[in-house]
């Protein structure tokens, strides 16, 4: 059994601050007027915003691949993606050689990046992946930066998990049981899951070996934006026709 992808899409621990920041950025992020439902909000950027992106890496080829992969999203959104030098980006990307450092890859979800101090990265990517895996990983991580969540956690995924094997497999790459619950197992229905349908082929979906699923269904590796990804992100950030 081999777990071949793992990342953490990091949500702010301060749900109310996250909600307030998201709504200040884009009032349409409010999905409820109930104070008790402060966790129920989108984290999408303001329409037609310029999103500054900085990349910290000593490897020019890595930086170029990051830019190339991120720009794959550009034709499908109304945001202007602008690459800036130094640490000036709203989205700040850093590389790491260590696959197990905080599980290798992580990203703030959408506007939660605004809650992170300006000297701290908002995305980390493990650069020592195979070249064929690095581009899709960057696509996935920038999907989080645009406000997308994990597709495999959609309640309509209906994946029949073999939990002992799932915990074992992810434990071998440093995940705790709480992290499996947070980043792998299904979420409750929300405004987000109503807006973005389940898509088995989404770049936001992890691959899973059949050993972690009771009915022996294997979920393959998604290495490009699916039609569903393009439809969803185009609805969130519609490009003027």
- What's the pLDDT tens digit per position in 185-197? 999 988 898 899 9
Residue, of 139 and 105, whose pLDDT is higher: 139
Structure confidence at residue 35 (pLDDT): 45
Residue that has been written with the tokens 């999203």 in this structure? 73
Element (H, E) at 166: helix 163-171
Q: How far, in Å, CA of 21 to CA of 34, rounded?
A: 16
pTM: 0.92
What is the average pLDDT across 14-22? 92
Give me the half-sphere count of Cα atoms (radius 13 Å) on the Cβ side of residue 123.
28
Alpha-carbon gap, residue 66 to 138, rounded angstroms: 6
Distance of CA 239 to the CA centre of its chain: 21
30-34, 69-73, 103-107, 137-141: least confident range: 30-34
Q: Is residue 3 part of a domain?
A: no
Six-digit token string for 178: 């709480």
Rounded Cα distance, 30 and 22, in Å: 8
pLDDT above 50 for 83: yes
Long-range Cβ pairs for the range 214-220 (8 Å, 24+): 214/160, 214/161, 214/162, 215/160, 217/159, 219/152, 219/159
Comparison of pLDDT for 75 and 221, the residue scoring more: 75
Percent of the chain with pLDDT over 70: 88
Within-domain flag for 181: yes
pLDDT band at 40 (very low <50, low <70, confident <90, very high): confident
**In a domain? residue 50:** yes
Average pLDDT over residues 147-158: 95
Mean pLDDT of 4-20: 77
Considering 10-14, 72-76, 158-162, the range whose residues carry the highest mean pLDDT is 72-76
> Which is higher by pLDDT, 21 or 13?
21
Domain count for the chain, please give it: 1
Span 93-109, pLDDT tens digits: 998 876 544 456 899 99
The per-residue pLDDT for 233 is 98
Instruction: Report if residue 239 sits inside a domain.
Output: no
Indicate which CATH number applies to the domain containing 164. Answer: 3.40.390.10
Comparing 53-57, 98-102, 185-189, 219-223, the range with the smallest average pLDDT is 98-102
Residue 177 lies in a domain: yes
Say if 172 falls within a structural domain. yes
Which residues constitute the domain of residue 128?
8-27+43-234
List pLDDT tens digits, range 159-172.
999 999 999 998 88
Strand partners of residue 97 = none
């Amino acid at each position: 059994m081999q777990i071949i992808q793992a990342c953490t899409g990091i949500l702010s621990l301060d749900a109310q601050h996250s909600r307030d920041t998201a709504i200040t950025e884009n009032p349409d992020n409010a999905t409820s007027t109930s104070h008790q439902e402060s966790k129920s909000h989108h984290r999408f950027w303001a329409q037609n915003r310029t999103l500054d992106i900085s990349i910290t890496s000593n490897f020019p080829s890595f930086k170029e691949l990051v830019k190339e992969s991120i720009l794959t999203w550009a034709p499908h959104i109304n945001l202007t993606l602008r690459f800036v030098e130094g640490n000036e980006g709203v989205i700040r990307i850093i590389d790491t050689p260590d696959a197990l450092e905080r599980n290798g890859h992580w990203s703030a979800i959408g506007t939660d990046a605004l809650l992170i101090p300006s000297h701290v990265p908002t995305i980390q990517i493990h650069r020592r992946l195979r070249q064929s895996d690095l581009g899709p990983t960057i696509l996935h991580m920038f999907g989080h930066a645009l406000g997308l969540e994990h597709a495999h956690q959609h309640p309509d995924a209906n994946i029949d998990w073999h939990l002992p094997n799932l915990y074992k497999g992810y434990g071998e790459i440093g995940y705790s049981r709480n992290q499996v619950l947070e980043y792998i197992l299904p979420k409750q229905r929300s405004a987000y899951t109503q807006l973005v349908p389940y898509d088995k082929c989404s770049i936001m979906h992890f691959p899973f070996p059949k050993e972690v699923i009771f009915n022996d269904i294997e979920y393959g590796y998604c290495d490009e934006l699916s039609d569903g990804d393009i439809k969803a992100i185009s609805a969130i950030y519609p490009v003027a026709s």
